[in-house]
Amino acid sequence: MSVDQRTHDDPAPESEAERKFWTYRDKFPPHLEAAFQGEIDRIRERRLRKTGIAAVLLYAAFAISDRVMVPDVWLKAWAIRFIVVVPVLLLATFNLYKLRHPVAREVLMSAALILCGISLPWIAGLSTHPYAAHYQTGITLIVWFGNIVLNLRFRSALVTSLLITLMYGMTLAGIASMPPEVKFNNWLFCLAAVIISLIANFRMDQDQRRAWLARLREVERNEELSHAVELLARISAEDELTQLANRREFDRRLNLEWSRARREARPVALALVDVDFFKNYNDHYGHPSGDDCLQRVAAALRSVPRRPADLVARFGGEEFVVLLPGANAEDAAAIAEKLRHAVLDLQIPHAASRVAPGVTASFGVASMLPVAHEQPAELIAAADAALYRAKEQGRNRVVMHEESQDIAPVRADY
């Protein structure tokens, strides 16, 4: 089967979170559920103050109907609205998220909604006016507001709605002037409103979960992509064997530091490092041991330079290069000597060496103050010429390029 056919015929494998969410329960695994609820709480916290104020204004606006629906007790109705219920709503609105526990916040929101619901049959029960029997039908608006606008968690919405519906049914049962058929119709209307709002609440919860899961997966994909880009950049700039900068990265940094040094009129130094008689080492100990030797030498070289701009790179084969921006000739020579001792201190046996019983390295060092007509390749050539003289003079030494010395032509691989 081709890749395209497999893509179209077989669904993509679901993640663990998706399998749990869509199969045996309508929740995420515990750690994802906690993260999801935390995100929803943060969204609610940002919106609650405006939503709560809107709820208070809407509830207070119905005081206008009190003069018509319960004209005999409208002052008492206003007292219940503005002295009891509105202060509780405002208190809940401005202090809800001072409660840090999610369950406590849900209980407070549910209690505020139930208080709003109780206030309507409470006011209706005080009145003897014929319209009072229909006064409390507004209880359905309170249920809708809690389940849809406030978007209570489904369990809280279910419990709150059932309590308000039960309370409404008990209140209707106590109204002697209302025919049983009207009572049943009103209660059935309230129950239908509750069920519809609960369905909406449940679907909103499911949609929020799908959207949150999609965002989570998008974040994960972006993180994976960023990691892949970072890894690719590191691979393209890093020598696989030694984990030092590779030749490409060295060339890039040398050109960058050369241009900066030219602008700022400061020197750039370079040390070329060659492991002495490394071909003999490979022939005698084998290539795996040779690779291990290069890795240890690379680690030793990397441990010496301390400035952020300094760079140790693999130049090719058994050659390394150390870039020292801002270093003059004396400083560069001193650092190169430390590098030479760092290699010696490894005490790697080298029976095939004609210099010492252990692995050693030769160093060619050059420092230049870039001027307009000079190029970075000239600094490399100067260091290479110094390295050649270090080998001529017996190896395992640091030789500094001097201005009076001739510079050999740049090697082809430069």
Note whether 81 and 192 are same-domain residues. Answer: yes
349 strand-pairing partners: 358
- Residues 354-375 have a mean pLDDT of 92
Distance of CA 229 to the CA centre of its chain: 16
Q: Give residue 146's Cα distance to chain centre.
A: 33
The tokens for 113 are 């909604």
Distance CA 166, CA 169 (A): 5
Q: Say what the pTM is.
A: 0.54
In the predicted model, what is the mean pLDDT of residues 392-405? 86
H or E element, residue 362: strand 361-368
Q: For residue 235, is it within any domain?
A: no
Residue range 71-97: average pLDDT?
A: 91
- Evaluate if residue 235 carries a pLDDT over 80: no
Question: Could you give the CA distance from residue 361 to residue 381 in angstroms, rounded to a whole number?
Answer: 19
The answer to whether residues 273 and 205 belong to one domain is: no
26 vs 263, higher pLDDT: 263
Residues 183, 36 share a domain = yes
Residue 359 has pLDDT above 80, yes or no: yes
Q: Which residue has the higher pLDDT, 300 or 167?
A: 300
Give the integer Cα–Cα distance in Å for 257 and 263. 10
CATH number at residue 284: 3.30.70.270
Residue 136 DSSP code: G
Q: Are 209 and 264 members of one domain?
A: no
pLDDT above 70 (res 410): no
Q: Is 74 in the same domain as 205?
A: yes
Q: What order do you get walking across the sheet with 311-316 strand by strand?
A: 311-316, 319-325, 268-275, 361-368, 398-400
Together in a domain, 147 and 111: yes
pLDDT of residue 403: 65
The residues near 348 (Cβ < 8 Å, ≥ 6 apart) are 293, 296, 297, 358, 359
Angle among Cα 226, 230, 232 to the nearest 5 degrees reads: 115
Residues 200 and 102 in one domain: yes
pLDDT at residue number 227: 84
Q: Would residue 198 count as lying in a domain? A: yes
Q: Is 98 exposed, middle or buried (0-12, 13-18, 19+ CB in 10 A)?
A: exposed
Dihedral sign, Cα of residue 128, residue 130, residue 131, residue 136: positive
> In the predicted model, is pLDDT for residue 205 greater than 60?
yes
Give φ, ψ of 79 to 5 degrees. -65, -40
Evaluate whether residue 241 is within a structural domain. Answer: no
Say how far apart CA 297 and CA 293 lie, in whole Å. 6
DSSP 8-state secondary structure symbol assigned to residue 134: G
Q: Is the pLDDT of residue 375 over 60?
A: yes
Output the six-digit token pair for 78. Answer: 């206003």
Q: Average pLDDT of the chain?
A: 86
What are the pLDDT digits (tens) for 244-268? 999 999 999 999 999 999 999 999 9
Average pLDDT over residues 157-186: 87
Domain membership of residue 215 (yes or no) is: yes
- In the DSSP assignment, the letter for residue 401 is -
- Rounded CA-CA distance 380/407 in Å is 10
Other CB atoms within 10 Å distance of the CB of residue 100:
7
> Are 200 and 334 in a shared domain?
no
Residues of the domain holding 309: 247-400
Task: Show which of 201, 220, 239 is a domain's final residue.
Answer: 220
Count of CB atoms within 10 A of residue 278's CB? 21
Choose the weakest-confidence range: 9-23, 198-212, 299-313, 320-334: 9-23
Average pLDDT over residues 372-379: 88
Mean pLDDT of 60-78: 92
Mean pLDDT of 180-196: 89
pLDDT given for residue 27 in this prediction: 65
Q: Report the domain count for the chain.
A: 2
| Pair 66, 135 in one domain | yes
For helices 180-237 and 30-61, angle between their N-to-C axes, nearest 10 degrees: 130
Q: pLDDT-based confidence at 335, cuts 50/70/90?
A: very high
Residues 222-245: what's their mean pLDDT? 83
Is residue 67 a part of any domain in this protein?
yes
Beta bridge pairs of residue 187:
none
pLDDT at 186 (0 to 100): 85
* CB neighbour class for 406 (10 Å; exposed up to 12, middle 13-18, buried from 19): exposed
Q: What is the mean pLDDT of residues 83-92?
A: 92
Is residue 3 predicted with pLDDT exceeding 60? no
Q: How far apart are CA 358 and CA 349, in angstroms?
A: 4
The pLDDT, as a whole number, for residue 371 is: 85
How far is 345 from 358, CA to CA, in rounded Å?
9
- Give the model confidence (pLDDT) of 263-318 as tens digits: 999 999 999 999 999 999 999 999 999 999 999 999 999 999 888 899 999 998 99
Is 136 or 313 the better-scoring residue by pLDDT? 313
- Identify whether 232 is part of a domain: no
238 found inside a domain? no
For every residue of 158-188, DSSP letters joined together read: HHHHHHHHHHHHHHHHT-TTS-HHHHHHHHH
Structure-model confidence comparison of residues 18 and 414, the more confident one: 18
Q: For the chain, how big is the Rg over CA atoms in Å?
A: 40
Q: Do 49 and 166 have their domain in common? A: yes
Are β-strands 361-368 and 398-400 bridged in parallel, bridged antiparallel, or unpaired?
A: parallel
Domain co-membership, 283 together with 214? no
Q: Of the candidates 175, 205, 220, which is a domain's last residue?
A: 220
Structural domain contains residue 55: yes
pLDDT value at 207 more than 50: yes
Do 343 and 380 reside in the same domain of the chain? yes
